[in-house]
Amino acid sequence: MITHAAITPETRSWVIACIEKGESPDALLQTLIDRGIDEEAAVAFMTRTLEARLEELKEKAATRDAPAPDPVTAIPQPLSIEWPSVIPAGSRRDLDRDVHVMFSLDHPRVVLFQNFLSDAECDELIRLSRDRMTASHVIDMDSGNTRADSGRTSSGTAFARGESPFIERIERRIEALLQWPYERGEALQILRYEVGQEYKPHYDYVDPTQPGAAPFLARGGQRVASLVMYLNTPQDGGGTNFPDAGFEIAAHKGCALYFSYDRPHPMTRSRHGGMPVRAGEKWVATKWLREAEHH
């Protein structure tokens, strides 16, 4: 067994970071034991670390005349909704076309669907969008409006729900696939990434504690899930990565990537990014799902 001598300051920093993301102290303790640290030493270390961190937070709060948060319990509760349905890898969904589940992960909750869009549908979405593109923006969490951001360098446009029979057909397929009401979806957003363009890792939900969150949340509540549909296969690059979970999914024409987040907190491990395109271009269609009817 490895004793407490193997526990370094880096180990303490790692434990604190995991706790503040919402991971269970018991699970972290078991990880330390699995790595060969003596159980008694691991328990003592975890106890000291959590007690010391709580004291640090109390001291910081005292200087601001505010109550100290508990690093273990100060985590948002899951949103009280019936969650979008997903199905296990290897399954099929017989919609208006035969959709296959190629990949499924529990935490973060990620599912990759193959054959969600036909080649012709992908091409038509690109054709309809090409002359409508403008620089992409992000939500300004100070004001609730949108603004340009150096972390998001794509261009984009959007199609309102039911804007045409073609757009509605795709939206109704999303509704049937995820069993999520059509009215609880945002407008279908189309994005184009050219060489060197990317969307750096971010969360799709909004932080409800920020001043700009209120007007966003008033239009349908919190975002609860995302569906990214790949409209072409880039020549090189352009995958979607989940840095907190350590994996990346390649962009492939016709596939759709689903991921959900049951509360607005890093513990969902839903932070993701659009990797830089190295050759050619990347086109995607994105659908965000909301708690309630979006307007």
What pLDDT digit, counting tens, does each position of 216-268 carry? 899 999 999 999 999 999 999 999 999 999 999 999 999 999 999 999 988 89
pLDDT mean across residues, the chain: 87
**pLDDT tens by residue, 40-60:** 787 788 778 877 777 776 676
**pLDDT tens by residue, 144-185:** 677 888 888 899 999 999 999 999 999 999 999 999 999 999
Q: List the single range of 30-39, 63-72, 87-96, 133-142 with lowest mean pLDDT.
A: 63-72
Please give the Cα distance from 105 to 174 (Å, whole number): 20
Q: At 15, is the pLDDT very low, low, confident or very high (cuts 50, 70, 90)? A: confident
> What pLDDT shows up at residue 12?
82
> What pLDDT shows up at residue 277?
97
Residue 64 has pLDDT above 90, yes or no: no
Residue 74 has pLDDT above 60, yes or no: no
Give the pair of three-digit tokens for residue 209. 């504690």
- Whether 245 and 272 have beta carbons less than 8 Å apart is answered as no
Write the secondary structure of 162-184 as one string of H (helix), E (strand) and C (coil): CCCHHHHHHHHHHHHHHCCCHHH
Residue 1 has pLDDT above 50, yes or no: no
Residue 3 has pLDDT above 50, yes or no: no
Residue percentage of the chain with pLDDT more than 90: 56
Please choose, from the candidates 156, 153, 232, the residue with its C-alpha nearest in 3D space to the C-alpha of residue 198: 153
Q: At 65, is the pLDDT very low, low, confident or very high (cuts 50, 70, 90)? A: low
- Whether 178 and 258 have beta carbons less than 8 Å apart is answered as yes
Residue 280 has pLDDT above 60, yes or no: yes
> What pLDDT shows up at residue 143?
72
Please give the Cα distance from 222 to 137 (Å, whole number): 19
